[in-house]
Amino acid sequence: MGQDGEDGQGGDPGVSGASGNGPSRSFDEEIRAAVRYEKGLFVKAMLALALVALVAVLRFLLFA
């Protein structure tokens, strides 16, 4: 039972639900784009960390 006291069994067209046909093509494309974006962020973060480590090592070797 919902907050409004309704059981959700009405035929309200404003309520969206699972169609049972599986994920749509646009949903799959959004997932792929999100995964590609996250992989890009990971690569950029690793490059930044590698650069910081390189600078730290060079600084240690040159000024030690």
Cα(31)–Cα(28) distance, rounded to whole angstroms? 5
The tens digit of pLDDT for each residue in 10-57 reads 665 555 555 556 668 899 999 999 999 999 999 999 999 999 999 999
Residue 62's pLDDT band (boundaries 50, 70, 90)?
Answer: very high
Around Cβ 7, how many Cβ atoms within 10 Å?
7
Whether pTM exceeds 0.95: no
